[in-house]
Structure formats: structure tokens, C-alpha cells
Amino acid sequence: MSADTAPAPEDAEPTAGSGKPHSPWRDLLALAKPNITMLVLITSAGGLWLAPGELGWAGLLATLTGTVLVVAAANTLNCYLERDSDRFMARTKNRPLPAGRMNARHALTLGLTLALISIPLLYLAVNPVTGLLAALALVSYVWVYTPMKQHSPAALLVGAIPGAMPPLMGWTAVTGRIEWPGVVLFAIMFIWQLPHFIAISMYRRREYEKAGIVTLPTKRGQATARWHMIAWAAVLLPVSLLLVPLDVAGWVYAGTASALGLIFLWYAVDGLRASNQGKWARKVFLYSLIYVTVLFAALLVDAGPYRLT
């Protein structure tokens, strides 16, 4: 058996590798998946900015700190659970655990410690609603979504729940209640993730198959995956506009969301005639990142100012 396919020891000690040495601190940061954490912070800050009411500096700091820590906990525990399958994917094989640079027990301890700090912090220093939402996000991501990926493409729907939670948590941090604008923010992020991750699973299909992860394209075929992407892109457009009648945003946002949504739908429909499905799926994936970034930027610009006391 080659080095690429040999099972990793349960608690392998870090081993020296070729090339540039990795800093232990950089490896610890990698477990938290900083790119994902940054996106979560942006969407969480969006909920904070849009929610009516006032939140002091202490509450703001507690919310952002708790959110970062709970996301880091979820990502670290995810890295621990997927340390074997990560070895078979180009984008994950160099993470600290599959590369053998870190003891798996250390990652598990770190993830559990972060969870034990972040949930009480949000529950006590912010409010119980936000703390409970964070706990739901952590549990659904680590103990439901992560193992479910090996068995069913429906894991995508479960995984979209914690991914959509940050803006709702930002809203509840200010209001202390789950209200319709916060629910719509949750819905936008939930629906956006579905074509986003379907696109990833299409252009990285072979890697997912090798890692034993069951996705929609591998389970039900590329054609079905394309139609699912079109359907979710079509649903995303009207849902994103619900923030206007709810008086959360105005016509600048409405125009931006409409244009972004129509372009997203066009990209999805274009897959019906694309000759290179992998290249097309990657374009959809890249556009989905532009979509969510510009959408939230327009939302923040077009909404009322967030006030600190």
C-alpha cells in the first residue's frame, strides 16, 4: 500500500516532512479554517448591524468573540473527525492532521475546550437565545452533518443549517428574540449554500468519491445535480428580496439583489448546455462567492446605521 492510501494512525505524532517547515501556531490556526471563520464573522456582523436596538461594546465583543470561538470549535472537531478522509482530497490533504503534523488528541482537546468556552460565553454574556442557536449550530455541524456526509447527499441540507446561523445569531444578540428579518437572513444563507456546495461537489467529484463522501452528483447523477442547482438559485432570488417589505433594506439593495440573483440563475441554467461540466461548476462556485459578498455589502450600505452605546 502506498503512502497516499495508507490509513493514518489514530493518534499519529507529528512527523517531519519535506519542504518548508510548518509553524505549530499556523497549524493550530488552520484547524479553525480561517477563511470560513472570516465569512461567518462578516455574516454575523451583518445581523448585528441590521437588527433594531442597541448593543454596547461589551455585548458586541462578547458576540463576535463567542462566534469566532464556536466556529473554531466546530471546524477543529470537524478536522478531527475527518482526518482520515481528508487525506484523499487535494484541498484538505495538507491540513495538520492528515499530514501527520499534529497529534489527533490535541485537536480533539482543543475543539472541546473551545466549545466549552464559547457556548457559555454567548449564553451568559450575550443572551440565552444566541447561546442556544450557537449550540444547535455546533451540534448539527459536528455530530450530525459530518458523519452523515459518508452516507447521504441529504447531509448538504443539514450542513446548511449551521452555515446559515451566524446572521440570525447576530440579530438575536441585539434583540434577544427570533424575528422574521433574522429568519430571512438565515434563509438567504441557507439557500445560498446549496448551489454553492453542489458546484463544489461537481467539479471535485472524483476527490469526494475517493474520500468516501456521498454527494448529489455521485448519488443521483450530474443531470439531477444541475436541476437542483437551478431550483435553489431560482428560490434564492425571491427570498433575498423579502428583506425589502420587512423594511430591513431599501431599493438599492432590491436592485442589487435582483441583478445578483438573475445572474446566479443564469449561471445555473447555463450548465444545461455547458460542454465542460467541471469548468462550468467551478465558475458557478466562484460566482457564488461574489454573490454573497456583494449582497451583504449592498445590504449594509442600504440599511440604517448600527448604533453602539
Say if residue 20's pLDDT is above 90. Answer: no
Residue 239 sits in a domain whose CATH number is: 1.10.357.140
Whether 294 maps to a domain, the answer reads yes
What pLDDT sits at residue 54? Answer: 87
What pLDDT sits at residue 213? Answer: 95
Whether 13 maps to a domain, the answer reads no
- State the average pLDDT for the chain: 90
Whether 17 maps to a domain, the answer reads no
Long-range contacts of 55-63 (CB under 8 A, 24+ apart): 55/173, 55/174, 55/308, 55/309, 56/308, 56/309, 57/308, 58/125, 59/125, 59/126, 59/173, 60/308, 62/121, 62/122, 62/125, 62/126, 63/122, 63/126, 63/130, 63/169, 63/170, 63/173
What pLDDT sits at residue 16? Answer: 37
Tens digit of pLDDT for each residue in 116-132?
999 999 999 999 999 99
Cell of residue 91, nine digits: 484541498
Does residue 300 or residue 8 have the better pLDDT? Answer: 300
- With a pLDDT cut of 90, the percent of the chain lying above it is 84
Whether 18 maps to a domain, the answer reads no
What pLDDT sits at residue 117? Answer: 98
Say if residue 184's pLDDT is above 60. Answer: yes
Overall domain count for the chain:
1
What pLDDT sits at residue 306? Answer: 36
Tens digit of pLDDT for each residue in 48-102?
999 998 899 999 999 999 999 999 999 999 999 999 999 998 889 999 999 999 9
Residue type present at position 46: G
pLDDT band for position 304 (cuts 50, 70, 90):
low
pTM for the model: 0.89
Whether 261 maps to a domain, the answer reads yes
pLDDT band for position 24 (cuts 50, 70, 90):
confident
Whether 308 maps to a domain, the answer reads no
What's the CA gap between 161 and 243, in Å, rounded?
20
Whether 62 maps to a domain, the answer reads yes
Question: What is the residue range of 122's domain?
Answer: 24-302
Whether 10 maps to a domain, the answer reads no
